Structure formats: C-alpha cells, structure tokens
C-alpha cells in the first residue's frame, strides 16, 4: 500500500481535489488515515449484505472507488444469484478496481456518472462517501432514484461527512478530526492543504438534512448506526 504523501507537494495546495491516478495510487492509505471508522463501515456492509441481499436481485456500489464496499457485499451475500453493479466516474479508480475483480462474472464494473445509471431490482445499495461530492441540487433526485430502484424491504447504506447544527460542537468535531490526522502522521501543512483542496468540492450537510431527504424519497425507516466525529453511516430501509 503506497503512502499518502500527496499534500507534502506544494503544488497541490492550490488545486481542487480530484480522483486522479495520484489519488487512486494512495487511496487505501488515505482512507485509513483520514476517515475514522472507515474499516468498521466496510465490515458492517458485509454483515448487512448477509441479511438483506436477496437471490435474483442487483446490488449497487455507487461511487465504488477501488471496490471495498463491492468486495464486502460480494463476500457477505449468502445467495448465489446476485449481480453487483459497481460504478465510478474516475477512470483511474475503475482501472485499478477492474484488476481486483477481473475473474468475477457477478461484478458489473462501470466507468460512468452515477446519475446516469439505471437502478432497478435492487436489494442493497451503498453510497460510501459519495453523495457529498454531488451538487446539492442533484442530491434529492439521486436519493429518490435509489429509493425507486430498491425492492420493498431493500436497504440503502449512506456514509457521509456531515456538519453539526451547533457551531460550537462543529468546531470541536473538526479539531478532533484534525487530531486524528495528526495521530496518523499527517503534518499541519498536509492537513491545511487537503482541507483547502476539498473546499467547494466536498459539500457536507447535517444528519437531519440527510434523514429528511431519505424520508421524502420514500424510505420507511432510517437510523445512524455509526458516528465518529463528523463521519456518519446511515441505514435506510424502503
């Protein structure tokens, strides 16, 4: 696993964050060191797949990056007849992901915008830190299409970085996240440059906004099953 030292490079401090080959190369290390609770989220996706994936249905990993959630669903599903559609709009990510699933006919890996993918007959759908990169105006429609594409009783797992409604607590949670990065050997300069690169690229919302959107889309039950600082994972059942 290559080490994430991208933001030691001074040039990247002035560029918006992109999922290009340089990011794809270090992405596992970036996730491990940057997103608290990420490993627990992936583990839970496998456990949820064992319970919710139905025979003869589709699963979707929307914004699959290198395929961690795809692999968790593949390994967790206890039924033989399932197709997992893994989608990402980054060619660098898809190229690396394809190498991991080259011999698995159940994996349908696509280089595409998730907004252009037909979602149908789905028993489980995952968006792991993906919705936050869509324009806010496009999010309601995306979540509604996900709800419409799920079978009754189907499961949606939505993981996102969020902001807290309380500004004092938001400041505390941001600082705790920065301390998490320091403990994972990111320098203050790297933390600052990464934050600048993500500004206006990753637009977080509150937990309440996410849950209201899910309810409006037609989900009957929602719950935050994991929260670690400003990172949450929500389960929603149609």
Query: What integer pLDDT is reported at residue 199 of this predicted model?
Result: 80
Mean pLDDT, rounded, for 11-17: 62
Give the 3-state secondary structure of residue 121: coil
Res. 12: pLDDT tops 80: no
Q: Is 155:124 a contact under the CB 8 Å cutoff?
A: yes
Count of beta carbons in the 10 Å neighbourhood of residue 163: 17
Tally the residues of the chain: 238
- pLDDT tens profile 205-232: 999 999 999 999 999 999 999 999 999 9
> Residues 180, 36: contact at Cβ < 8 Å?
yes
Contacts of 116 (CB under 8 A, 6+ apart): none
The DSSP bridge pattern shows strands 82-88 and 57-62 to be parallel
**Angle, CA of 147, 46 and 35, to the nearest 5°:** 85
Q: Which residue has the higher pLDDT, 12 or 45?
A: 45
163-222: pLDDT as tens digits: 999 999 999 999 999 999 999 888 887 888 788 777 878 999 999 999 999 999 999 999
Torsion of CA 120, 110, 203, 160, to 10 degrees: 60
CATH no. of 1-238: 3.40.50.150
Q: What is the pLDDT of residue 190?
A: 85
pLDDT value of position 187: 85
| pLDDT computed for residue 9 by the predictor | 59
Strand blocks (E) in the chain: 57-62, 82-88, 107-111, 122-128, 150-161, 221-228, 231-237
Residue 47 in contact with residue 41, Cβ under 8 Å? no
Per-residue model confidence as pLDDT tens digits over 35-75? 999 999 999 999 999 999 999 999 999 999 999 999 999 99
Q: Across residues 140-164, what is the average pLDDT? A: 98
Report the candidate in 69, 111, 92, 70 with the shortest Cα–Cα distance to residue 18: 92
């Amino acid at each position: 696993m290559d080490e994430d030292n991208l933001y030691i490079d001074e040039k990247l401090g002035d560029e918006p964050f992109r999922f290009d080959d340089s990011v794809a190369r270090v992405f596992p290390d970036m996730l491990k060191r940057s997103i608290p609770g990420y490993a627990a989220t992936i583990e839970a996706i496998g456990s949820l797949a064992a319970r919710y994936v139905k025979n003869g249905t589709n699963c979707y990993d929307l914004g699959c990056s290198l395929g961690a959630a795809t692999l968790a669903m593949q390994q967790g599903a206890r039924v033989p007849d399932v197709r997992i559609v893994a989608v990402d709009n980054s060619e660098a990510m898809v190229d690396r992901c394809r190498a991991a699933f080259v011999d698995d006919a159940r994996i349908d890996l696509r280089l595409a915008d998730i907004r252009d993918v037909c979602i149908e007959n789905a028993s489980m759908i995952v968006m792991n830190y993906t919705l936050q990169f869509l324009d806010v105006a496009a999010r309601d429609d995306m979540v509604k299409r996900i709800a419409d594409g799920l079978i009754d009783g189907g499961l949606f797992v939505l993981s996102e970085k969020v902001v807290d409604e309380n500004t004092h607590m938001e400041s505390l949670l941001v600082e705790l996240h920065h301390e998490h990065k320091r403990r994972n050997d990111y320098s203050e300069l790297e933390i600052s440059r990464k934050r600048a690169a993500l500004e206006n690229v990753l637009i977080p919302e509150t937990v309440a906004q996410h849950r209201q959107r899910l309810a409006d889309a037609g989900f009957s039950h929602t719950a935050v099953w994991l929260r670690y600082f400003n990172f949450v994972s929500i389960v929603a059942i149609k």
